[in-house]
Chain A
Amino acid sequence: MDKMPKWADVILTPLISLILAMAISALVILAIGESPWMALKTMVTGALGSSYGWGFTLYYTTNFIFTGLAVSVAYHAGLFNIGGEGQAAMGGLGVALVVLALPWPHWALALPAAAAGAALFGALWALVPAWLQARRGSHVVITTIMFNFIAAALLNYMLVNVLRPVGSMDPASAAFPPAAHLPKLSEMALGLGIEWGRNTPANITFFIAIAACFLVWLLIWRMRLGYEIRAFGKSEPAALYAGISPLRITVLAMLVSGALAGMMAVNNVMGEAERLVLNAVEGAGFIGIAVALMGRNHPLGVFLAALLFGFLYQGGGELALWTSIPRELIVVIQALVILFAGALDNMVRMPLERLFAALRRKGA
């Protein structure tokens, strides 16, 4: 089976998928009568050319790290968690309930509590599909899709009927108290005497996201549970034979996955909007799928892929601002990445495997 060196599998296949996705996106841009080169330049300048751009890019990156990690942890257990969107939305509810429940004296106290609330709500939202998959055999993909819609309806109900302040017409919660304001990266930089990224939403949650990457690596590759998760994902009968409980692994993997997706809310609800609004997740849950596929389900890969999508997301906004290309271009790129890195993986891989086989024959 060893047809390709490991580095080629880890680096070349995602890279080629990305290049294919970009090439087709360039064709799409050409087809709508714009210059792909100018589009790329606008995106790079807008997203990476200034500390202002970076402040937004890192904010989006933070979201995508959480949702990407969520998808990849479930993926290691052989589960396709497509419900990151709903879990992140419920995480938002958890954050809002925690922050609005008590008069928090300082953000340093509110942050762990809110993060716990986000993780708990996200995890609970993943628990039912996980349990149903393990106990009743209902497919986790379908149930998590359904739970996305149920979460949207539930959130809509909570915002309109419960959390909306008296007298407000807006379906949104009350604004969070100023004491619960999370430090922005720009404010932290200013504290060090550096002028960086004024008025950008990137905040301290970015570091939590990086810590989450490390913790997921620790969990998956250095802990017993992670080993069991991977064993279960590779072969269920073998895992069963080794005494690994399918129910336990399915539920635990989905709980971790849901908690990670929920944690995203610390960034977008507490760190940015500072209140809970409708559709706060804005599709980040689904981008997590592309991020995990692109990053080969490894935390380092997820981090890099999240950075890439953060750049695309911010760059896409700039495109819509400066050119006549709508920001939906990003959705197309996202779809193509999912297509090439996920569904058409074999199409990318087969020629590569043949190439390496030919090289080896020549070398031998």
Chain B
Amino acid sequence: MDFATILQILDSAMRLMTPLLLACLAGLYSERAGVFDIGLEGKMLMAAFASASVAYATGSAWLGLAAGIAGASVLAALHGLASITFRGNQLISGVAVNFLASGLTVLLGQKIFGLGGRTPSLSGAARFDEVTLPLAESLRPLPVVGRAYAELVSGHTILVYLAFAMVPLTWWVLYRTRFGLRLRAVGENPASVDTAGVSVARLRYGAVMICGVLCGIAGAYLATGISAGFVREMTAGRGFIALAALIFAKWRPWGALGATFLFGLLEAVANRFPNLDLGFVTLPSMFMNALPYVLTVVILAGFVGRAIPPRAGGEPYVKER
């Protein structure tokens, strides 16, 4: 494997990990606040559809992004309503959100565009352009570093950089702000937060809505960044891979970066080498596709470091009377 191939694979891994990273951080806010979210997939799908539709109608990728965020936020609010206000089962609510998105996107898409659930192809300003970072071209002649900078670091859409910037930002919010401290506390021991006179419900709604916004960006990136338009079921299980990455990362922001990079890399390698020949054994692409899930089960089983979820995760908070 030469340097160009490695660069190509890493470049593709960066693109593929972006929606995973955004969705993973989305889940991180929600689950750290004690609200399990298996509806990441549905929120991303809804956002992808909304952003592609609005971007097509207006010709603006930015308006598409706003629509994507709005679409995912509506579903996030629904999840919040069910799991915080009505103290319902958060897992069941997540399942409902996934199916709602899966059905509604095709239903509305067929009605609006009549293309069997697709949106028309996007072009020009309706998609996010690739950004060339400063000095990318002048540094290119430098061996290794210059070329890596020009081909790997530069030349992604703005949403990719946004996703990467979200990692330190999330770390800062969670570990260095009052909001973050309370958010983590409400996921571990909501009663203590309540005793301190802070509203558990408001904090959890805040976390769930942040989750919606990030899923919205992830979905918009799928439909208007990485591809040109919406296709039915285009999230293709990414919401669940993000969930797996969240567990892999043990609910930590920097871990999320590492886990999603690993899973993005696996997908990139599987795309590049459908049948990976390791000399002694040939790995079929299905193996690479299944690897994120297998790794997650292994991690969950605690054989390689233990993943312990936030203690109050999944439990509705009932105020003492």
Chain A residues close to B by CB (< 8 Å) = 28, 32-33, 80, 82, 128, 132, 136-139, 141-143, 145-147, 149-150, 153-154, 156-157, 160-161, 286, 289, 293, 324-326, 328-336, 338-339, 342-347
Known: A142-B247, A345-B88. A286 touches B108 (CB 8 A): no
> What string of 1s and 0s marks CB contacts (under 8 Å) between B39-69 and chain A?
0000000000000000000000000000000
Contact B301 A331 (CB under 8 A): no
Known: A141-B38, A338-B92. A147 touches B107 (CB 8 A): no
Which listed residue, B91, B294, B301, touches A80 by the CB 8 Å rule? B91
Contacts of A331 in B (CB 8 A): 99, 102-103, 106
Known: A328-B117, A343-B93. A336 touches B302 (CB 8 A): no
Chain B stretch 115-152: residues in CB contact (< 8 A) with chain A: 116-117
Q: Is B240 an interface residue (CB 8 A)?
A: yes
Contact B95 A146 (CB under 8 A): no
Contacts of A145 in B (CB 8 A): 38, 240, 243
Which listed residue, A139, A289, A329, A343, touches B82 by the CB 8 Å rule? A343
Closest CB in chain A relative to B229 CB, distance in Å: 18
Contacts of A344 in B (CB 8 A): 81-82, 86, 88, 93
Contact B107 A28 (CB under 8 A): yes
Contact B88 A346 (CB under 8 A): yes
Contacts of A342 in B (CB 8 A): 88-89, 92-93, 95-96
Which listed residue, B90, B100, B293, B296, touches A339 by the CB 8 Å rule? B100
| Assembled-state Cα–Cα distance A331/B284 (Å) | 33
Contacts of B82 in A (CB 8 A): 339, 343-344, 347
Besides A335-B99, A343-B86, 20 other CB < 8 A contacts? A28-B104, A32-B107, A32-B110, A136-B301, A137-B302, A142-B243, A147-B297, A149-B290, A150-B293, A157-B287, A330-B103, A331-B103, A332-B100, A338-B96, A342-B93, A343-B90, A344-B81, A344-B86, A347-B82, A347-B88
The 5 nearest A-B residue pairs measured at CB: A331-B103, A335-B99, A343-B93, A153-B290, A332-B103
Contact A326 B106 (CB under 8 A): yes
Q: Is B237 an interface residue (CB 8 A)?
A: yes
A28: nearest chain-B partner, CB-CB = B107
Contacts of B302 in A (CB 8 A): 136-138
Contacts of A128 in B (CB 8 A): 297
Q: How many A-B residue pairs have CB under 8 A?
A: 155
Contact B92 A289 (CB under 8 A): yes
Contacts of A137 in B (CB 8 A): 302
Contact A335 B103 (CB under 8 A): yes
List 15 interface pairs A-B (beta carbons < 8 Å), by A numbering: A28-B104, A32-B107, A32-B108, A128-B297, A138-B307, A141-B38, A146-B300, A149-B240, A149-B290, A293-B92, A325-B107, A328-B102, A335-B96, A342-B93, A345-B86
Closest CB in chain B relative to A38 CB, distance in Å: 16
| Assembled-state Cα–Cα distance A326/B117 (Å) | 9
| Assembled-state Cα–Cα distance A146/B293 (Å) | 5
| Assembled-state Cα–Cα distance A161/B73 (Å) | 43
A157: nearest chain-B partner, CB-CB = B286
Known: A82-B91, A139-B300. A154 touches B290 (CB 8 A): yes
Contacts of B30 in A (CB 8 A): none
Chain B residues close to A by CB (< 8 Å) = 38, 78, 81-83, 86-93, 95-100, 102-104, 106-108, 110-111, 116-117, 237, 240, 243-244, 247, 284, 286-287, 289-290, 293-294, 296-297, 300-302, 307, 309
Contacts of A346 in B (CB 8 A): 86-88
Contact B243 A328 (CB under 8 A): no
Which listed residue, B91, B98, B107, touches A328 by the CB 8 Å rule? B107
Interface of A is mostly: helix
| Assembled-state Cα–Cα distance A287/B97 (Å) | 14
Known: A82-B91, A136-B301, A346-B88. A334 touches B103 (CB 8 A): yes
Which listed residue, B89, B98, B286, B300, touches A138 by the CB 8 Å rule? B300
B36: nearest chain-A partner, CB-CB = A141
| Assembled-state Cα–Cα distance A336/B284 (Å) | 39
Contact B107 A149 (CB under 8 A): no
Contacts of B87 in A (CB 8 A): 346
Closest CB in chain B relative to A18 CB, distance in Å: 14
Which listed residue, A132, A153, A339, touches B286 by the CB 8 Å rule? A153
Q: Most chain-B Cβ atoms within 10 A of its Cβ — which of A329, A332, A335?
A: A335
Known: A149-B293, A289-B92. A161 touches B99 (CB 8 A): no
Contacts of B38 in A (CB 8 A): 82, 141-142, 145
Which listed residue, B98, B110, B286, touches A326 by the CB 8 Å rule? B110
Contact A332 B107 (CB under 8 A): yes
Closest CB in chain B relative to A189 CB, distance in Å: 35
| Assembled-state Cα–Cα distance A120/B80 (Å) | 39
Q: Most chain-A Cβ atoms within 10 A of its Cβ — which of B90, B117, B290?
A: B290
Contacts of A154 in B (CB 8 A): 286, 290
Contacts of B243 in A (CB 8 A): 142, 145
Contacts of B297 in A (CB 8 A): 128, 132, 138, 143, 146-147, 150
Contact B96 A156 (CB under 8 A): no
| Assembled-state Cα–Cα distance A32/B103 (Å) | 13
Contact A150 B103 (CB under 8 A): no
Contact A335 B286 (CB under 8 A): no
| Assembled-state Cα–Cα distance A143/B293 (Å) | 9
| Assembled-state Cα–Cα distance A176/B305 (Å) | 46
Contact A156 B286 (CB under 8 A): yes
Closest CB in chain B relative to A326 CB, distance in Å: 5
Contacts of B294 in A (CB 8 A): 146, 150
Closest CB in chain A relative to B321 CB, distance in Å: 15
| Assembled-state Cα–Cα distance A123/B87 (Å) | 32
| Assembled-state Cα–Cα distance A347/B294 (Å) | 38
Contacts of A132 in B (CB 8 A): 297, 300-301
Contact A141 B91 (CB under 8 A): yes
Contact A139 B309 (CB under 8 A): yes
| Assembled-state Cα–Cα distance A121/B45 (Å) | 32
